[in-house]
Amino acid sequence: MNNLPKSHPRYLSLLQREKIVKGFRKGMVVPQGLIAQGRAEAFDYILGEKTIRPAKKAIEAAASLFLLAKYPVISVNGNTAALAGKQVIKLARASEAKIEVNLFYRTKERKEKIEKFLISLGAKKFLVKKMPQVIIPGLKSERRKVSKEGIFKADVVFVPLEDGDRTEHLIKMGKKVVAVDLNPFSRTSQKASITIVDNIVRAIPLLIDTIQKIKNKNRNKLKTILKNYNNKKTLKEAIAIVRKRLIRMSSLN
């Protein structure tokens, strides 16, 4: 749709759909990615398509973790590239992180397409493409194949739109995992070290702003922010908001 009217009440949501469909047509997004976006839309609708307070808390903790990290890596899949490619690069710049394309439905061709797309947006400096490839122990999916200079080496991995399996295995390897997932019930959300229950198109810009805001704080302050953050509690707060919204919208008076 070329003439998406800005005044349309669902403009922002439709814009995301258009980006995903465009990514699909270019061969960056798989058909399964369209389904994932649909599920995200459903949760976003329930949450009011706004960044909820628990997500803001998670973003502050994630920003602190990024700033304290020795070797942060951003894992990018087709949906993330299509929806937030530019923002991912800004995040890499703000946090001195690497970017690695890592796919559940992996083909060499699709990986290269996404890498080329990211390079066209200015990612060259941050992108880890290099072999040797190594395997995440125990993981069965294609996502087990990671770069030795990227996810394998990372102490902090940022995984927007992750699958639960890999989150679990990255944690088992001793890494801290920051997830962005609108579904607070998913295994990814439940297993990550920090879960941002928000749409990536809102969460990543907020994360960049927060990093810029707190980057001059001393390390002990950042450590305190992290120490005071409790992911289980924050997730419960997000679920309580889902419940509250459903109760309010189903109330008969």
Distance separating alpha carbons of residues 93 and 191, to the nearest angstrom: 27
Please give the size of the binding site for ligand ATP, defined by CB under 6 A.
19
Under the binding rule (CB under 6 A), the answer on residue 39 touching ligand ATP is yes
In the complex, minimum distance from the CB of residue 103 to ligand ATP, in angstroms, rounded to a whole number: 12
Minimum distance from residue 183 beta carbon to Mg ion (Å): 10
Q: Which stretch binds ligand ATP (CB under 6 A): 35-43, 87-95, 107-115, 235-243?
A: 35-43
- CA atoms within 13 Å, Cβ hemisphere of 177: 28
Q: Which is closer to ligand ATP, CB of 110 or CB of 225?
A: 110
Q: Which residues from 157-196 bind ligand ATP, rule CB under 6 A?
A: 161, 163-164, 180-183, 186-188
| Least CB distance to ligand ATP at residue 186 (A) | 4
For the residues of 228-246, what is the DSSP string, one character each? T--HHHHHHHHHHHHHHHH
Are the beta carbons of 66 and 60 closer than 8 angstroms? no
Which of residues 44 and 162 has its CB atom nearest to Mg ion in the complex? Answer: 162
Q: How far is residue 105's CA from residue 37's CA, in Å, rounded to a whole number?
A: 16
C-alpha distances out from residue 13 to 70, 196, 200, Å:
36, 19, 12
**DSSP for 34-61?**
HHHHHHHHHHHHHHTSS--HHHHHHHHH
**Residue from 40, 62, 146, 156 binding ligand ATP (CB under 6 A):** 40
169 phi/psi in degrees, rounded to 5: -70, -35
Query: Which stretches of the chain bind Mg ion, using CB under 5 A?
Result: 163
Residues that bind ligand ATP (CB under 6 A): 36-37, 39-40, 43, 79, 83, 161, 163-164, 180-183, 186-188, 199-200
